[in-house]
Protein backbone atom coordinates (compact mmCIF):
# COMPACT_ATOMS: atom_id res chain seq x y z
CA UNK A 1 0.00 0.00 0.00
CA UNK A 2 1.38 3.38 -0.90
CA UNK A 3 2.17 5.54 2.11
CA UNK A 4 -0.15 8.53 2.32
CA UNK A 5 1.68 11.85 2.55
CA UNK A 6 0.17 14.81 4.29
CA UNK A 7 0.42 17.84 2.04
CA UNK A 8 0.56 21.50 2.79
CA UNK A 9 0.30 24.50 0.51
CA UNK A 10 3.63 25.85 -0.79
CA UNK A 11 4.53 29.42 -1.62
CA UNK A 12 3.67 28.98 -5.33
CA UNK A 13 0.16 27.78 -4.57
CA UNK A 14 1.02 24.10 -4.95
CA UNK A 15 1.38 21.59 -2.20
CA UNK A 16 4.19 19.67 -0.60
CA UNK A 17 4.92 17.62 2.45
CA UNK A 18 3.90 19.31 5.69
CA UNK A 19 6.98 20.53 7.53
CA UNK A 20 7.55 20.12 11.27
CA UNK A 21 6.23 23.10 13.18
CA UNK A 22 4.00 24.25 10.34
CA UNK A 23 0.95 23.81 12.57
CA UNK A 24 2.44 26.27 15.05
CA UNK A 25 3.26 28.69 12.23
CA UNK A 26 -0.32 28.51 10.95
CA UNK A 27 -1.58 29.20 14.46
CA UNK A 28 0.71 32.21 14.80
CA UNK A 29 -0.21 33.47 11.35
CA UNK A 30 -3.88 33.18 12.25
CA UNK A 31 -3.27 35.06 15.51
CA UNK A 32 -1.12 37.76 13.98
CA UNK A 33 -3.26 38.01 10.89
CA UNK A 34 -5.79 40.03 12.82
CA UNK A 35 -3.06 42.59 13.59
CA UNK A 36 -1.81 43.16 10.07
CA UNK A 37 -3.27 46.13 8.35
CA UNK A 38 -5.50 46.97 11.32
CA UNK A 39 -4.99 50.61 12.33
CA UNK A 40 -6.89 49.98 15.55
CA UNK A 41 -3.90 48.16 17.08
CA UNK A 42 -2.56 51.61 17.99
CA UNK A 43 -5.89 52.95 19.27
CA UNK A 44 -6.88 49.92 21.31
CA UNK A 45 -5.59 49.41 24.84
CA UNK A 46 -4.90 53.03 25.69
CA UNK A 47 -6.12 52.44 29.25
CA UNK A 48 -3.76 49.47 29.59
CA UNK A 49 -0.91 51.62 28.31
CA UNK A 50 -1.75 54.31 30.86
CA UNK A 51 -1.74 51.73 33.67
CA UNK A 52 1.63 50.41 32.51
CA UNK A 53 3.12 53.90 32.48
CA UNK A 54 1.68 54.62 35.93
CA UNK A 55 3.16 51.37 37.25
CA UNK A 56 6.57 52.32 35.87
CA UNK A 57 6.35 55.73 37.51
CA UNK A 58 5.35 54.25 40.90
CA UNK A 59 8.37 51.94 40.88
CA UNK A 60 10.75 54.56 39.53
CA UNK A 61 9.60 57.37 41.82
CA UNK A 62 8.59 55.37 44.90
CA UNK A 63 10.74 57.60 47.11
CA UNK A 64 8.57 60.57 46.09
CA UNK A 65 5.34 58.97 47.30
CA UNK A 66 4.48 60.94 50.46
CA UNK A 67 4.31 59.33 53.87
CA UNK A 68 2.08 62.04 55.30
CA UNK A 69 -1.10 60.09 54.55
CA UNK A 70 -1.08 56.64 56.13
CA UNK A 71 2.66 56.15 55.46
CA UNK A 72 1.69 55.25 51.91
CA UNK A 73 5.27 55.60 50.70
CA UNK A 74 6.65 53.10 53.21
CA UNK A 75 3.81 50.69 52.54
CA UNK A 76 4.56 50.80 48.80
CA UNK A 77 8.28 50.31 49.42
CA UNK A 78 7.68 47.32 51.71
CA UNK A 79 6.05 45.33 48.93
CA UNK A 80 7.75 47.06 45.98
CA UNK A 81 9.18 43.88 44.38
CA UNK A 82 5.69 42.39 44.11
CA UNK A 83 4.58 45.16 41.76
CA UNK A 84 6.53 43.25 39.11
CA UNK A 85 3.74 40.66 39.04
CA UNK A 86 1.58 43.23 37.28
CA UNK A 87 3.93 43.27 34.28
CA UNK A 88 3.06 39.79 32.90
CA UNK A 89 -0.62 40.48 33.64
CA UNK A 90 -0.50 43.67 31.57
CA UNK A 91 1.37 41.80 28.85
CA UNK A 92 -1.34 39.14 28.61
CA UNK A 93 -4.07 41.78 28.59
CA UNK A 94 -2.24 43.65 25.85
CA UNK A 95 -2.08 40.51 23.72
CA UNK A 96 -5.75 39.76 24.31
CA UNK A 97 -6.66 43.32 23.33
CA UNK A 98 -4.29 43.12 20.35
CA UNK A 99 -2.90 46.51 21.29
CA UNK A 100 0.53 47.44 20.02
CA UNK A 101 0.41 50.59 22.15
CA UNK A 102 -0.17 48.60 25.35
CA UNK A 103 2.58 46.08 24.54
CA UNK A 104 5.12 48.83 23.94
CA UNK A 105 4.07 50.61 27.15
CA UNK A 106 4.51 47.39 29.17
CA UNK A 107 8.21 47.49 28.34
CA UNK A 108 8.59 50.53 30.61
CA UNK A 109 7.66 48.89 33.98
CA UNK A 110 9.52 45.74 32.92
CA UNK A 111 12.74 47.70 32.39
CA UNK A 112 12.31 49.64 35.65
CA UNK A 113 11.69 46.45 37.66
CA UNK A 114 14.75 44.73 36.20
CA UNK A 115 16.83 47.82 36.97
CA UNK A 116 15.64 47.84 40.59
CA UNK A 117 15.61 44.13 41.40
CA UNK A 118 17.30 42.24 38.58
CA UNK A 119 20.52 42.04 40.58
CA UNK A 120 18.77 40.07 43.32
CA UNK A 121 17.97 37.26 40.89
CA UNK A 122 21.62 36.30 40.46
CA UNK A 123 23.61 34.20 42.90
CA UNK A 124 26.22 36.49 44.45
CA UNK A 125 27.51 33.98 46.97
CA UNK A 126 31.29 33.72 46.88
CA UNK A 127 34.04 32.60 49.24
CA UNK A 128 33.84 30.74 52.51
CA UNK A 129 34.04 33.57 55.02
CA UNK A 130 35.40 33.33 58.55
CA UNK A 131 32.28 34.02 60.61
CA UNK A 132 28.69 32.76 60.30
CA UNK A 133 25.91 34.77 61.93
CA UNK A 134 22.18 34.19 62.20
CA UNK A 135 19.12 35.96 63.53
CA UNK A 136 15.62 34.79 64.32
CA UNK A 137 12.46 36.35 65.65
CA UNK A 138 11.36 33.30 67.60
CA UNK A 139 7.80 34.57 68.29
CA UNK A 140 6.70 35.01 71.88
CA UNK A 141 3.94 32.43 71.31
CA UNK A 142 6.26 29.81 69.84
CA UNK A 143 4.88 26.41 70.85
CA UNK A 144 8.30 24.71 70.64
CA UNK A 145 11.09 27.00 71.88
CA UNK A 146 13.49 24.12 72.52
CA UNK A 147 13.03 22.76 69.01
CA UNK A 148 13.46 26.24 67.55
CA UNK A 149 16.69 26.72 69.49
CA UNK A 150 18.08 23.40 68.29
CA UNK A 151 17.12 24.19 64.69
CA UNK A 152 18.91 27.53 64.55
CA UNK A 153 21.95 26.15 66.41
CA UNK A 154 22.20 23.43 63.74
CA UNK A 155 22.76 26.17 61.15
CA UNK A 156 26.39 26.33 62.24
CA UNK A 157 26.16 29.98 63.24
CA UNK A 158 29.05 31.26 65.37
CA UNK A 159 26.94 34.18 66.57
CA UNK A 160 23.18 33.90 67.00
CA UNK A 161 20.67 36.63 67.80
CA UNK A 162 17.13 35.92 69.00
CA UNK A 163 14.29 38.41 69.21
CA UNK A 164 10.86 38.41 70.87
CA UNK A 165 12.06 36.36 73.80
CA UNK A 166 9.33 35.80 76.37
CA UNK A 167 10.71 35.85 79.92
CA UNK A 168 9.27 32.44 80.75
CA UNK A 169 10.88 30.90 77.64
CA UNK A 170 14.38 32.36 78.16
CA UNK A 171 15.55 29.44 80.40
CA UNK A 172 14.42 27.00 77.70
CA UNK A 173 16.52 28.76 75.06
CA UNK A 174 19.48 29.04 77.44
CA UNK A 175 19.41 25.32 78.19
CA UNK A 176 18.99 24.26 74.55
CA UNK A 177 21.81 26.51 73.34
CA UNK A 178 24.28 26.07 76.21
CA UNK A 179 26.23 23.22 74.62
CA UNK A 180 26.84 25.15 71.40
CA UNK A 181 27.31 28.67 72.73
CA UNK A 182 29.33 29.14 75.94
CA UNK A 183 28.72 32.90 75.94
CA UNK A 184 25.39 34.66 75.91
CA UNK A 185 23.49 37.67 77.17
CA UNK A 186 19.79 38.49 77.24
CA UNK A 187 18.69 42.10 77.45
CA UNK A 188 14.94 42.59 77.70
CA UNK A 189 13.33 40.67 74.83
CA UNK A 190 16.49 40.22 72.72
CA UNK A 191 19.46 37.95 73.24
CA UNK A 192 22.87 37.13 71.78
CA UNK A 193 24.57 33.73 71.86
CA UNK A 194 28.21 33.32 70.78
CA UNK A 195 31.01 30.79 70.45
CA UNK A 196 33.39 33.64 71.23
CA UNK A 197 33.68 35.82 74.34
CA UNK A 198 31.33 38.75 74.78
CA UNK A 199 32.27 42.08 76.28
CA UNK A 200 30.87 45.58 76.50
CA UNK A 201 27.34 44.21 76.73
CA UNK A 202 24.65 46.81 77.25
CA UNK A 203 21.08 47.62 76.35
CA UNK A 204 20.53 50.14 73.54
CA UNK A 205 17.86 52.76 74.06
CA UNK A 206 15.60 52.87 70.99
CA UNK A 207 13.05 55.15 72.67
CA UNK A 208 10.43 52.60 73.61
CA UNK A 209 10.51 52.63 77.40
CA UNK A 210 11.54 48.96 77.51
CA UNK A 211 14.50 47.02 76.13
CA UNK A 212 14.31 45.63 72.60
CA UNK A 213 17.88 46.28 71.44
CA UNK A 214 21.36 45.50 72.72
CA UNK A 215 25.01 45.82 71.82
CA UNK A 216 28.02 43.59 72.55
CA UNK A 217 31.64 43.23 71.50
CA UNK A 218 32.31 39.76 70.12
CA UNK A 219 35.97 38.79 70.46
CA UNK A 220 36.40 36.72 67.28
CA UNK A 221 39.78 35.20 66.36
CA UNK A 222 39.92 37.80 63.60
CA UNK A 223 39.38 40.84 65.79
CA UNK A 224 36.68 42.52 67.81
CA UNK A 225 33.29 43.09 66.19
CA UNK A 226 30.50 45.27 67.54
CA UNK A 227 27.28 43.27 67.22
CA UNK A 228 23.90 44.95 67.58
CA UNK A 229 20.66 43.04 68.07
CA UNK A 230 17.39 44.88 67.56
CA UNK A 231 13.68 44.26 67.31
CA UNK A 232 11.89 47.28 65.91
CA UNK A 233 8.26 47.91 66.96
CA UNK A 234 5.63 46.24 64.83
CA UNK A 235 3.80 48.04 62.05
CA UNK A 236 0.15 47.64 61.17
CA UNK A 237 -1.98 48.20 58.10
CA UNK A 238 -5.35 49.65 59.15
CA UNK A 239 -8.21 50.72 56.93
CA UNK A 240 -8.77 53.91 58.90
CA UNK A 241 -5.12 54.79 59.49
CA UNK A 242 -3.13 53.22 56.67
CA UNK A 243 0.37 51.93 57.40
CA UNK A 244 0.98 52.85 61.05
CA UNK A 245 4.71 52.89 61.72
CA UNK A 246 5.53 56.04 63.69
CA UNK A 247 6.94 54.17 66.70
CA UNK A 248 9.01 51.90 64.42
CA UNK A 249 10.38 54.94 62.59
CA UNK A 250 11.38 56.68 65.84
CA UNK A 251 13.16 53.54 67.06
CA UNK A 252 14.96 53.13 63.74
CA UNK A 253 16.32 56.67 64.02
CA UNK A 254 17.58 55.96 67.54
CA UNK A 255 19.21 52.70 66.45
CA UNK A 256 20.90 54.45 63.54
CA UNK A 257 22.31 57.08 65.90
CA UNK A 258 23.69 54.39 68.23
CA UNK A 259 25.38 52.53 65.37
CA UNK A 260 26.84 55.76 63.99
CA UNK A 261 28.36 56.51 67.41
CA UNK A 262 29.93 53.02 67.69
CA UNK A 263 33.73 53.38 67.99
CA UNK A 264 34.60 49.92 66.63
CA UNK A 265 35.02 50.00 62.85
CA UNK A 266 33.61 46.51 62.27
CA UNK A 267 29.89 46.25 62.98
CA UNK A 268 27.11 43.73 62.46
CA UNK A 269 23.40 44.37 62.95
CA UNK A 270 21.13 41.37 63.51
CA UNK A 271 17.42 41.60 64.02
CA UNK A 272 13.83 42.05 63.02
CA UNK A 273 13.61 45.62 61.72
CA UNK A 274 9.96 45.29 60.70
CA UNK A 275 10.90 46.95 57.42
CA UNK A 276 12.69 46.25 54.16
CA UNK A 277 15.83 47.80 52.73
CA UNK A 278 13.62 49.83 50.39
CA UNK A 279 11.70 51.48 53.23
CA UNK A 280 12.89 55.08 53.52
CA UNK A 281 11.93 55.17 57.19
CA UNK A 282 14.90 52.92 57.99
CA UNK A 283 17.30 55.25 56.22
CA UNK A 284 19.20 56.14 59.42
CA UNK A 285 20.26 52.50 59.53
CA UNK A 286 20.35 51.42 55.90
CA UNK A 287 22.33 54.45 54.73
CA UNK A 288 25.35 53.45 56.78
CA UNK A 289 25.25 49.65 56.62
CA UNK A 290 25.30 47.01 53.92
CA UNK A 291 22.68 44.29 53.52
CA UNK A 292 24.21 40.81 53.32
CA UNK A 293 21.26 39.62 51.23
CA UNK A 294 21.66 42.39 48.67
CA UNK A 295 25.44 42.02 48.55
CA UNK A 296 25.93 38.26 48.74
CA UNK A 297 22.55 36.51 48.61
CA UNK A 298 20.61 34.67 45.95
CA UNK A 299 17.06 35.85 45.43
CA UNK A 300 15.01 38.15 47.63
CA UNK A 301 15.43 36.17 50.85
CA UNK A 302 11.89 36.94 52.05
CA UNK A 303 11.52 36.03 55.74
CA UNK A 304 7.95 36.93 56.73
CA UNK A 305 5.39 35.50 57.13
CA UNK A 306 6.91 32.04 57.38
CA UNK A 307 3.86 30.36 55.82
CA UNK A 308 4.21 32.42 52.64
CA UNK A 309 7.16 34.84 52.85
CA UNK A 310 6.38 38.17 51.19
CA UNK A 311 8.93 40.60 52.64
CA UNK A 312 12.49 40.64 53.95
CA UNK A 313 12.01 42.32 57.32
CA UNK A 314 14.60 40.25 59.21
CA UNK A 315 17.97 41.73 58.39
CA UNK A 316 21.67 41.04 58.69
CA UNK A 317 23.67 44.16 57.92
CA UNK A 318 27.37 44.93 58.14
CA UNK A 319 29.83 47.80 58.10
CA UNK A 320 33.58 47.38 57.68
CA UNK A 321 33.03 43.66 57.02
CA UNK A 322 32.74 41.81 53.72
CA UNK A 323 29.60 39.63 53.25
CA UNK A 324 30.17 36.46 51.23
CA UNK A 325 26.85 34.62 51.54
CA UNK A 326 23.29 35.06 52.80
CA UNK A 327 20.30 32.72 52.99
CA UNK A 328 17.11 31.85 54.87
CA UNK A 329 16.89 28.82 57.14
CA UNK A 330 14.07 26.24 57.34
CA UNK A 331 10.85 27.16 59.11
CA UNK A 332 10.60 26.71 62.88
CA UNK A 333 7.69 27.21 65.27
CA UNK A 334 7.86 30.96 64.62
CA UNK A 335 5.96 33.11 62.15
CA UNK A 336 9.33 34.36 60.82
CA UNK A 337 12.02 32.44 58.97
CA UNK A 338 15.51 32.53 60.48
CA UNK A 339 18.13 34.22 58.27
CA UNK A 340 21.87 33.60 58.21
CA UNK A 341 24.97 35.00 56.56
CA UNK A 342 28.66 34.28 56.15
CA UNK A 343 30.98 37.23 56.43
CA UNK A 344 34.70 37.83 56.16
CA UNK A 345 35.77 39.75 59.24
CA UNK A 346 39.40 39.59 58.20
CA UNK A 347 38.73 40.92 54.69
CA UNK A 348 41.48 43.01 53.16
CA UNK A 349 39.05 44.77 50.88
CA UNK A 350 36.82 47.47 52.28
CA UNK A 351 33.12 46.81 52.42
CA UNK A 352 31.17 49.32 50.40
CA UNK A 353 27.67 50.52 51.07
CA UNK A 354 24.75 49.29 49.06
Query: 167 and 287 share a domain?
Result: yes
Query: 238 and 104 share a domain?
Result: no
Query: 308 and 293 share a domain?
Result: yes
Query: 112 and 138 share a domain?
Result: no
Query: 267 and 188 share a domain?
Result: yes
Expressed as residue numbers, the domain containing 295 is 123-344
* Residue 4 included in any domain: no
Query: 246 and 323 share a domain?
Result: yes
* Residue 96 included in any domain: yes
- The lowest-confidence range among 49-58, 115-124, 142-151 is 115-124
Predicted confidence (pLDDT) at residue 285 exceeds the cutoff of 60: yes
Burial class of residue 267, CB neighbours in 10 A (0-12, 13-18, 19+): buried
Domain end among 85, 120, 155: 120
**What total number of domains does the chain contain?**
2
* Residue 9 included in any domain: no
Chain centroid to Cα 213, Å, comes to: 22
State the pLDDT confidence band at 245, using cuts at 50, 70 and 90.
confident
Query: 271 and 139 share a domain?
Result: yes
Query: 247 and 142 share a domain?
Result: yes
Q: Tens of pLDDT along 340-352?
A: 999 999 864 443 3
Q: Tens of pLDDT along 314-337?
A: 999 999 999 999 999 999 999 999
Predicted confidence (pLDDT) at residue 153 exceeds the cutoff of 80: yes
What's the average model confidence in pLDDT over 168-195?
Answer: 98
Query: 256 and 180 share a domain?
Result: yes
Predicted confidence (pLDDT) at residue 66 exceeds the cutoff of 60: yes
Contact 326, 338 (CB under 8 A): no
Separation of alpha carbons 37 and 35, rounded Å: 6
- pLDDT for the residue 29: 59
Query: 25 and 112 share a domain?
Result: yes
- pLDDT for the residue 34: 58
Give the three-class secondary structure for 279: coil
State the pLDDT confidence band at 21, using cuts at 50, 70 and 90.
low
* Residue 10 included in any domain: no
Query: 173 and 129 share a domain?
Result: yes
Domain end among 96, 120, 144: 120
Amino acid sequence: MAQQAYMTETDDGGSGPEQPGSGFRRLMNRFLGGWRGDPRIWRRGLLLAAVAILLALVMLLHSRIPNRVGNLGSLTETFLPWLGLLVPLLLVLGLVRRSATALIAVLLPAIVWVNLFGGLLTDKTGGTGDLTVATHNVNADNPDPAGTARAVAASGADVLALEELKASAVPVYEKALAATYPYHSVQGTVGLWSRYPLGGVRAVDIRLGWTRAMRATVGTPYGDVAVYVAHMPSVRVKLNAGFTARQRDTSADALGEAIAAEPLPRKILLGDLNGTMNDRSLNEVTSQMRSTQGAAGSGFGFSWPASFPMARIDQIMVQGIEPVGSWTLPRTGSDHLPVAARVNVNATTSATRS
